Structure 1
Amino acid sequence: MAHAQALANTPVAQLDVPRYLGQWHEIAHLPMFFQRQCKDTITATYSARPDGSITVHNACRTHDGSMDSADGQARRVEGSPGALQVRFAPAWLGWLPWVWADYWVIDLDPDYRWAVVGSPSRRYLWVLSRTPGMSRSQFEQLRDRAARRGYPVDKLVIAAPLE
């Protein structure tokens, strides 16, 4: 059996931010401390801010059935269209470089129906969709490409239905 060719872990070359804005449904993610309370119905909603940055509103249904949310801000990385930096720390801490985390769009549907977001460290990975579910075959293709970029996809937490 031939080995699949490795893919570079780099942001996409083009990202049309106005098309990227709006609501995304999380299909899967690598486990992380700040999402430990989320069970399902996980969404990320992006909206433009007057200063050119992006408001980030993350929400999820928790294990006790209540809804939880967090608000943050994203900014573009100069010279790298598919790379953003995100912070959920208070605005007055925004000047500190360590409060900003890399948010790379590493795979993107030409029609912006799905996106895969990762990080240079490969510690973060999200599979996002404009709809609350995704076909299993589509998910497996995205999972395979993330694996070829070096992400530990065997640890993915599935957060939405796969049809």
Structure 2
Amino acid sequence: MAVISFLTMACKGQSDEVDKTVVKVLDIERYMGKWYELARYDHSFERGLVGVSATYSMRDDGLIKVVNAGFKNSLNGEESIAVGKAKIPDLKEQGKLKVSFFWIFYADYYVLDLDDNYQWAIIGSSSDKYLWILSRTPFVDDEEYTKLLSKISQRGYDVSKLIKVEQ
């Protein structure tokens, strides 16, 4: 109930602009490993997926291997896996990555906020149409989730559009 009240209040304070500033420092080695998708904005390439995770590892060529996995419609559904690559094109903006799942076409992957211990991350892009909450664990408690929603709302994102991902 507290989350519903928070969402209602947070949506009232929305502005037309969102803050897409990224973290200043990203220790890419600490970022490697498995992340669980706690929530996301709806988009066609993940529609209907649950149990979603992203696993990052370094490749021999210096790029980052990205493996996104999830299950269609239920945790017992057919597994869907997408393998891609990522890079940091400008080391002066470490939080702005580019990710590709198709040939040479790259999309923005902005690390908007990151826990000091690399336990959660808020991911966006140059467009305000994409937003994810990632965590090292498949679940966080209500207090932590509300804190993350507050951070997102303060940036001007519409938290009512977030879809909680079943894990």
Do these two structures clear the TM 0.5 threshold for a shared fold by scoring above it? yes
- What residue in structure 2 maps to residue 159 of structure 1? 165
Residue 151 of structure 1 and its aligned partner are, at CA, apart by: 1.6
Matches within 5 A, 1:87-98: 87-90=100-103, 94=104
Alpha carbons 1:122, 1:150 under 8 Å: kept: no
Candidates 101, 112, 120, aligned match of 1:114: 120
Distance in 1, Cα, partners of 2:142 & 2:65 = 31
Per-residue displacement from partner, 1:25-55 (whole Å, max 9, x unpaired)? 00000001100130x2110000101121101
Distance in 2, Cα, partners of 1:112 & 1:160 = 22
Alpha carbons 2:23, 2:111 under 8 Å: kept: yes
Distance in 1, Cα, partners of 2:31 & 2:22 = 14
Distance in 2, Cα, partners of 1:60 & 1:11 = 26
After TM superposition, what 4+ stretches of structure 1 lie above 6 angstroms from structure 2?
none
Distance in 1, Cα, partners of 2:89 & 2:133 = 21
> How many residues in Structure 1 have an aligned counterpart in Structure 2?
151
Where does the alignment leave 5 or more consecutive residues of structure 1 unmatched? none
- What residue in structure 1 maps to residue 70 of structure 2? 60
Distance in 2, Cα, partners of 1:75 & 1:88 = 12
Distance in 1, Cα, partners of 2:22 & 2:40 = 17
Instruction: Give the share of equivalent positions with the same residue, in percent.
Output: 40
Structure with bigger helix share is: 2
Where does the alignment leave 5 or more consecutive residues of structure 2 unmatched? 1-8
